[in-house]
Amino acid sequence: MTKVARPVTTRYTPSGVKKSPCIERGIREPGPAGLPRRAVAPAGPAIVAAVEQVEVAVVGAGLLGSATARALAARGVPALLFEQFALGHARGSSHGATRLFRYSYPDPCYVEMAVRAGEAWERLTADAGEELLVRTGGLDAGPGAEDCAKALAECGVAHTWLSDAGVQARFPGIRARPGERMLFQPDSGVSLAGRTVAALQRLARRDGAAIRAMTPVLGIEAGHDRVLLRTAAGEVAARAAVITAGPWAQGVLAGALPQAPPLTVTVQQVRYFAPRDPATAWPTLIEWRPEGLVWYAVPAAGDAPGVKVAAHITGPAVDPRTGPFTEIDPALEEGAAGYVHDRLPGLDPAGLGAETCLYTMTPDEDFVLDRAGPLVVGGGCSGHAFKFGPLLGEFLADLALGQDIPVPRERFALRRPSLAAS
């Protein structure tokens, strides 16, 4: 960690953290460069006003925050990662066993990002020394598959079409309708979610980042080129702060930005189903239905109890502070079992159990990847960001260090029209 220049002497605690000295009663303490001056109490005994200094602070230790801390630490940048709960908690969007990894999108922009993300996963896996992404191949069905095929072709990504007989021969657990064809992409697969977040945190620590769990950030003051973060344990000044607080981002950013992005937090429900034949091969599956409902299935991998099946729909809006977080909707349970019965006969429709997570939705379902002064915001993941996690961590580290990122900045901007109009 480095010291932001201040017109006072510096002392060190036994832990080596740099601290500013005590300021005697009635004297105004100069704030870190670029931040407002903060007055100390006008009466009482001498006060120790200790402000820890770090190059980059990261708020939120889910997937994006952990990936950002790891990317910064790998470049030798002193980074401090805050998490308000225990690491690996189930109050956000990054817990659980599995997430779907795919190149197949109807939008070439996301296909190109997915290709970059696949390379980032390979780098992460090599660095971690453990399997974090299981390649299974993936199917897309329904009208949206045609648009996905066009986008894959435009980006030069391998894909092919399977006939109904081809689907049945290769993946007997999936029922293709007579005359139906499905798009097959061989490099899709399963991200091992909880294992990946833990690996990112381990690597970040290995390379010098500090991680403080059970440490909520209570407030943020952004100056011209510095950020001051308040916690119950004291204040931290940083040259840049990366806000990856997921469902809590709006609250964390309140007052720090002229206008926080409009984000809607929803509770999402998934269910696991047991394969009838454990030896059957399972791909990922996305079904793009004409009415806009998107069903998906994620093969069992890692610690998953079975194949995960759910609909990508907007769940009920909730306050991330109070929930409810774990209520199971019987109608969604019935819908998932019905879909399994009709489309996935290789699974037992009785189900193994359900779990929930939170989505943080933007109005257009594009992410927020932007910088405003010394604040970097990464979020609005809208239920489809896990596959990009290691890559987005690199992007957010780039933004924190004043570098550009190789995506259309206006599409992921804080002030894009779709956010301003909401």
More confident: 182 or 29: 182
Task: Name the strands in the sheet holding 98-101, side by side, starting at the edge strand that comes first in the sequence.
Answer: 98-101, 189-192, 133-135
The pLDDT, as a whole number, for residue 4 is 38
More confident: 313 or 38: 313
pLDDT for 252-300, tens place per residue? 998 899 888 999 999 999 999 999 999 999 999 999 988 777 999 999 9
Per-residue pLDDT at 396 exceeds 60: yes
More confident: 12 or 62: 62
Per-residue pLDDT at 10 exceeds 60: no
Average pLDDT over residues 106-114: 98
**In terms of DSSP H, where are the helices of 186-280?**
193-206, 249-253
Per-residue pLDDT at 23 exceeds 50: no
Q: Which of 41-55, 314-328, 397-411 has the highest mean predicted lDDT (pLDDT)?
A: 397-411
pLDDT for 34-60, tens place per residue? 555 444 444 455 455 689 999 999 999
In this prediction, residue 362 has a pLDDT band, given cuts at 50, 70 and 90, of very high
Query: Across the chain, what does the average pLDDT equal?
Result: 89
Query: What does the domain layout of the chain look like in residue ranges?
Result: 11-90+195-258+365-420, 114-192+264-361
Q: Is the peptide bond preceding residue 14 cis, with omega within 30 degrees of 0?
A: no
Residues 6+ apart with CB under 8 A from 28: 37, 38, 39, 40
The pLDDT, as a whole number, for residue 416 is 95
In this prediction, residue 16 has a pLDDT band, given cuts at 50, 70 and 90, of very low
Per-residue pLDDT at 22 exceeds 60: no
The pLDDT, as a whole number, for residue 422 is 61
Q: Report the percentage of the chain scoring pLDDT > 70.
A: 88
The pLDDT, as a whole number, for residue 290 is 83
Domain 114-192+264-361 has CATH 3.30.9.10: yes
Per-residue pLDDT at 28 exceeds 90: no
The pLDDT, as a whole number, for residue 398 is 98
Per-residue pLDDT at 9 exceeds 50: no
Q: Say which CATH architecture domain 11-90+195-258+365-420 belongs to.
A: 3-Layer(bba) Sandwich (3.50)
Beta strands at 210-212 and 18-19: parallel, antiparallel or unpaired: unpaired
pLDDT for 230-240, tens place per residue? 999 999 999 99
The pLDDT, as a whole number, for residue 58 is 98
> Whose structure tokens read 């896990």?
386
pLDDT for 82-101, tens place per residue? 999 999 999 999 999 999 99
pLDDT for 173-195, tens place per residue? 999 999 999 999 999 999 999 99
Beta bridge partners of 267: 358
Distance CA 66, CA 72 (A): 10
Residues 6+ apart with CB under 8 A from 266: 314, 315, 316, 317, 318, 358, 359, 361
Can you give 315-364 as a three-state secondary structure string?
Answer: CCECECCCECCCCCCHHHHHHHHHHHHHHCCCECCCCCEEEEEEEEECCC
